[in-house]
Amino acid sequence: MQTKITTSAIRRRDFLRGAVQTGASSVALLAARRGLAFDTKRHFAPVKVARNRVIREVVGLRPYRAAGFVVEAQRFGSKFLVHNYGHGGAGVTLSWGTASLSVDLAKDFLTTRKSPTRFAVLGCGVSGLSTALLLQRRYQNGPGTVTIYAKDLPPNTTSNVAGAWWSPTSAYEEPVVTARFIEQFRAACRISNRAFQLLVGPEYGVRWIDTLELMRHEASLQRELTGGNDLYYQTEVHRDPDTYFGFPFVREYKSMLIEPSIYLSALLRDFYIAGGRVVVKEFKSRAELARLREPVIFNCTGLGSRALFDDKDLTPVRGQIEVLLPQPEIDYCYLSSGYMFPRRDGIVLGGTWDHDDWSLAPNPEQANGILEAHIEIMKGLRPAA
């Protein structure tokens, strides 16, 4: 529905804004006349970090490849196979982008076929769901055209563990990547950023959020933001440790925060509404894939691709998060040595990064380290006047 804004509504709004401004300046004037300090500085609501506020501890294994994600197509016997896996610490962020690039790779193959094609998507995390939805949008030929086959469904995927802040960080190592990868990566970042913007709102659990990068060294301000500075909006630099948690240099910008439980359920719902089918199944070997009835297969199995496709470059990077009771008043997130993301289902504290560690058990020492680091950050917060 479109809202029509009338001239009188605008005038009324201008009037109200004027009234508020006049009111605010008179209060300031009055305060100044009376010799009162009028505090115009920004205040951040404190995150209440305490052991007894931890509602859950979660561990996830990021599907990491130093050389970056794999988005490529190959012949697989009589079938056409497209890979879309290995997104490291940025799988949610990149999801629409790599889904779009991988669906594009099937275009030429599909033009050679006369009859409507059925697609198999392996995996029901964020990569599989985004790929399946794009296939439905581009090639829907009736119910059952796209089938997702997966061992685990939301909420039991790595995608549900993600902090789910929009930023394509921790996805590759600079010296190892190819020029082709960088081209794909840059394209994926842009496609995905735009796609998430269109999903902002409570229905998909996506919202804009002020992000603060808390820094000790001025040189860090020069670092280009991952994916390109143009993907982060309204960037500002603050040199005001009193306001910004005691940190002398802070870069602030707007990015997006995604609620994985809401978001993944919404994608799954959209997939079903469009006639999609889900089969719970674990593939133990490639021979089983060859027996699928679908001629086109998209592999979105995340870390599962290591065993299924024998990709030894794909390794787990373990991440542990501590989730505190929700605090709806927290309207910012920050990054320092770790991160704080104020999701609706809880305040997410994390940032651990353990290469080649398959353990899914929470580590109590890491838990203490995470909590202590954030208690320290909160000590730098100036109390509200």
Ligand X SMILES: Cc1cc2nc3c(=O)[nH]c(=O)nc-3n(C[C@H](O)[C@H](O)[C@H](O)COP(=O)(O)OP(=O)(O)OC[C@H]3O[C@@H](n4cnc5c(N)ncnc54)[C@H](O)[C@@H]3O)c2cc1C
Beta carbons within 8 Å of 129's beta carbon, 6+ residues apart: 95, 148, 264, 267, 268, 271
Least distance in angstroms from the C-beta of 247 to ligand X: 21
Closest CA to 305 of 128, 50, 42, 80: 128
Pick 127 or 184: Cβ nearer ligand X: 127
3-state secondary structure 260-282: HHHHHHHHHHHHHHCCCEEEECC
Phi, psi of 371 (to 5 degrees): -65, -45
Q: Which residues pair with 249 in a beta bridge?
A: 215
Give the whole-angstrom CA distance, residue 176 versus residue 324: 37
Look at the chain and count its residues. Answer: 385
Least distance in angstroms from the C-beta of 11 to ligand X: 44
Give the whole-angstrom CA distance, residue 28 versus residue 31: 5
Least distance in angstroms from the C-beta of 169 to ligand X: 8
Pick 127 or 145: Cβ nearer ligand X: 127
Give the whole-angstrom CA distance, residue 46 versus residue 204: 27
Cα 33-35-41 angle, rounded to 5 deg: 100
Least distance in angstroms from the C-beta of 362 to ligand X: 11
Pick 240 or 311: Cβ nearer ligand X: 311
Pick 62 or 251: Cβ nearer ligand X: 62
**Residue whose structure tokens are 């008179």:** 26
Closest CA to 169 of 95, 249, 99, 91: 91
Least distance in angstroms from the C-beta of 336 to ligand X: 15
Pick 73 or 300: Cβ nearer ligand X: 300
Pick 60 or 205: Cβ nearer ligand X: 60
Least distance in angstroms from the C-beta of 87 to ligand X: 4
Which residues form the interface with ligand X (CB under 6 A)? 60, 62-63, 85, 87-93, 122-128, 150-152, 157-159, 161-165, 282-283, 300-304, 308, 319, 321, 350
Residue 144, SS3? coil
Q: Locate 232 and state its tokens.
A: 């982060």
Least distance in angstroms from the C-beta of 23 to ligand X: 41
Beginning with the edge strand found earlier in the chain, give each strand of the sheet holding 277-280 in spatial order: 70-76, 79-85, 296-299, 119-122, 146-150, 277-280
Least distance in angstroms from the C-beta of 357 to ligand X: 11
